[in-house]
Amino acid sequence: MSDTEAVIAALDRGEARVAEPDGDDWRVNTDVQAAILDYFRSRQMEPREVGPFEYRDKIPLKSGYEELGVRVVPPATARYGAYLSPGVVLMPSYVNIGAWVGPNTMVDTWATVGSGAQIGADVHLAGGVGIGGVLEPPGARPVIVEDGAFLGSRCIVVEGVRVGREAVIAPNVTLTASVPIIDVTGPEPVEHRGYVPPRSVVVPGTRPKEFPAGTYHLSCALIIGRRSESTDLRTSLNDALRDYGIGTG
């Protein structure tokens, strides 16, 4: 087994990670990112048959779900080199190589978890959530969703954004490295980029910007409050948003 193959095998077992907690921050393991890229380059396309399904890809599929204690609903797919912790539930969804998914997390229908993404324990990624993959340039931080966060349907989180623990992200929020995340709970707005503070309740928003052709409204995200103590890990996204008079339907 080559050094690259050994790293990918360690990723698959959860013994290596693209990024890992380091105090209050996260440390990116550039050697692991490099190994994933080398693995892609070294592999050849191969046909694969899984029951009634046929695939043709460079990367094998993950296996051994019963031993892992993971529930996988057809036709959910995880690639070899992704780690799924005990208690994870994959509805028909996709988890890419290098991703790490923590215990008891739900990856709901048609949600995608991109390369290297780090998803904590007790997270709920609702239907159609898109978690972007980040492997380049070397040292680039992957998308990080910390323990207990709840991401509503059709959220998009890309470009190394970090969602703090137990945050609640409303449906259709798009978070990128450049989208302003504006805390409007105080007398003056406080702007974040690429980071949602813990227990924040975040909804879609817009803000005006002047252009030669006139004033137009660009997307942003608004922090409208904090998850209350009564809104614990068992409470639904709808309940969390109702605390602030916001529905989800």
* CATH number for the domain that contains residue 145: 2.160.10.10
| Within a domain: 247 | no
Number of domains making up the chain: 1
Residue pair 79/91 in contact (Cβ under 8 Å)? The answer is no
Residue 71 belongs to what H/E stretch? Answer: strand 71-72
| Within a domain: 82 | yes
| Within a domain: 248 | no
| Within a domain: 44 | yes
Query: What integer pLDDT is reported at residue 238 of this predicted model?
Result: 66
Query: What integer pLDDT is reported at residue 1 of this predicted model?
Result: 74
| Within a domain: 102 | yes
Question: Distances from the Cα of 78 to the Cαs of 62, 114, 161, 217, 243, in angstroms?
Answer: 6, 10, 22, 38, 36
Query: What integer pLDDT is reported at residue 54 of this predicted model?
Result: 86
Query: What integer pLDDT is reported at residue 93 of this predicted model?
Result: 98
| Within a domain: 115 | yes
Which residues of the chain carry a pLDDT beneath 70? 230-238, 240, 242-249
Spatial separation of the C-alpha atoms in residues 179 and 220, rounded to whole Å = 6
How many CB atoms lie under 10 A from the CB of residue 2?
11
**Structural domain containing residue 10:** 3-242
Query: What integer pLDDT is reported at residue 124 of this predicted model?
Result: 96
| Within a domain: 189 | yes
| Within a domain: 110 | yes
Query: What integer pLDDT is reported at residue 237 of this predicted model?
Result: 65
Residue pair 204/177 in contact (Cβ under 8 Å)? The answer is no
Nearest-10 Cα torsion for 142, 146, 148, 153: -30
Residue pair 108/88 in contact (Cβ under 8 Å)? The answer is no
Provide φ and ψ at 42, rounded to 5°: -85, -15
